[in-house]
């Protein structure tokens, strides 16, 4: 009986050890977030583990060393658990993701994204041969700084200062006392500036699918929301700053009819934004921690 108990205990221990050491395969590919094409010969690794495409063991494997040339990777016999997986290549912005495998699902396929580090901040189309900017904030000179109540808005008109003449102050030509210079007279009043109307919004499809490159690192979730753009009285939006003195009306977000958009991390400072927009003129606000990062003005066809 004692011998049977010992054997039974040993079997249980063996089963427990086998369960703890259950392994699986983590594979995937590294893709250019803008073009959708595979990035050749990236480096993929899992920090604090021995798994990485740069390891001598990995590079000696003829099949694996060939597949990484096309941006694909395979890590075998990975114990189940939580990990971080990263990808990098010279000239590209790196990416890192938190992943997890379980005993029920020990295998995992991952898509990692990178993008050219020369790409400027802004909003871009997806899957184009070269990065194509939708808007870099063409209406930045029109944008209002609004609080939580109004959220976002735009001027309908602003002064055209691009060709405004510069009128220097005239020097007082009266004889100056010894040791003193003539005083500069106040500058003449500049002529009234020509007013420019708000640019027509760019027309976009109802099925929004874009990439947003932020100017700086974002450590908390990025929020994207679309609102109908409606004209309203400036007096009703006192939490908005930047309205010209002569303007009685401006363009504001209809906060009662917001549409939440889907935001997904792609790589450092890069996010995918998608969703279905209502027809008509829309203001899209991107924010973090309640603070506006950027607003865009579009018309949905």
Q: What is the pTM of this model?
A: 0.78
Secondary structure of the chain: what % helix, strand, coil (to 5)? 15, 45, 45
Backbone phi, then psi, for 49, in 5-degree steps? Answer: -135, 175
- pLDDT (tens digit per residue) in 65-75: 999 999 999 99
Please say if the pLDDT value at position 154 is more than 90. yes
Indicate the pLDDT class of residue 10, thresholds 50, 70 and 90. very low
CA distance 112 to 71: 10
Rg (CA), the chain: 30
Tokens 């450092």 correspond to what residue?
268
- pLDDT (tens digit per residue) in 29-58: 999 999 999 999 999 999 999 999 999 999
CB 156 within 8 Å of CB 250: yes
The predicted pLDDT at position 110 comes to 97
Residues of the chain with CATH 2.60.40.10: 122-158+198-300
Q: Lowest mean pLDDT: which of 2-16, 179-193, 283-297?
A: 2-16
Residues of the chain with CATH 2.60.40.1120: 23-116
CA distance 155 to 72: 49
* Size of the chain, expressed as the number of residues it contains: 301
Q: Lowest mean pLDDT: which of 42-56, 138-152, 156-170, 217-231?
A: 156-170
Tokens 């595979």 correspond to what residue?
38
Mean pLDDT (whole number) for 92-114: 96
Q: What is the mean pLDDT of the chain?
A: 84
DSSP assigned state of 18: H
Q: Does domain 23-116 have CATH number 3.50.50.60?
A: no
Indicate the pLDDT class of residue 196, thresholds 50, 70 and 90. confident
Please say if the pLDDT value at position 101 is more than 90. yes
Report the sign of the C-alpha dihedral through residues 150, 152, 158, 161, in that order. positive
Class of the CATH domain delimited by 122-158+198-300: mainly beta
The predicted pLDDT at position 103 comes to 95
Please say if the pLDDT value at position 190 is more than 50. no
Mean pLDDT (whole number) for 187-209: 74
Q: Under DSSP, is residue 6 helix (H, G, I), strand (E, B) or coil?
A: helix
């Amino acid at each position: 009986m004692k011998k049977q108990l010992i054997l039974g205990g040993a079997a249980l221990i063996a089963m427990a050890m086998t369960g703890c050491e259950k392994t699986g395969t983590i594979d995937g590919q590294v893709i250019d977030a803008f073009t959708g094409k595979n990035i050749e010969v990236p480096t993929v690794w899992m920090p604090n583990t021995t798994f990485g495409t740069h390891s001598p063991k990995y590079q000696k494997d003829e099949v694996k060393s060939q597949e990484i040339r096309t941006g694909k990777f395979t890590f075998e016999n990975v114990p189940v658990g939580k990990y971080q997986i990263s990808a990098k290549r010279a000239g590209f912005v790196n990416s890192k993701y938190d992943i997890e495998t379980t005993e029920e699902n020990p295998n995992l396929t991952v898509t990692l994204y990178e993008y050219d580090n020369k790409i400027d901040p802004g909003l871009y189309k997806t899957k184009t041969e070269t990065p194509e900017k939708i808007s870099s904030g063409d209406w930045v000179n029109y944008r209002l700084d609004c609080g939580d109540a109004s959220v976002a808005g735009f001027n309908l008109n602003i002064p055209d200062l691009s060709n405004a003449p510069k009128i220097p102050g005239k020097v007082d030509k009266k004889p100056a006392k010894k040791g003193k210079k003539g005083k500069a007279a106040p500058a003449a009043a500049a002529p009234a500036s020509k007013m420019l109307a708000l640019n027509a919004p760019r027309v976009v499809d109802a099925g929004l699918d874009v990439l947003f490159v932020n100017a700086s690192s974002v450590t908390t979730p990025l929020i994207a929301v679309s609102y109908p753009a409606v004209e309203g009285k400036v007096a009703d939006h006192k939490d908005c700053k930047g309205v010209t003195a002569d303007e009685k009306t401006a363009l504001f977000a209809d906060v009662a009819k917001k549409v939440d958009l889907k935001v997904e991390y792609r790589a450092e400072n890069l996010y995918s934004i998608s969703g279905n927009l209502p027809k008509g003129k829309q203001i899209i606000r991107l924010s973090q921690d309640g603070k506006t990062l950027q607003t865009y003005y579009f018309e949905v066809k």
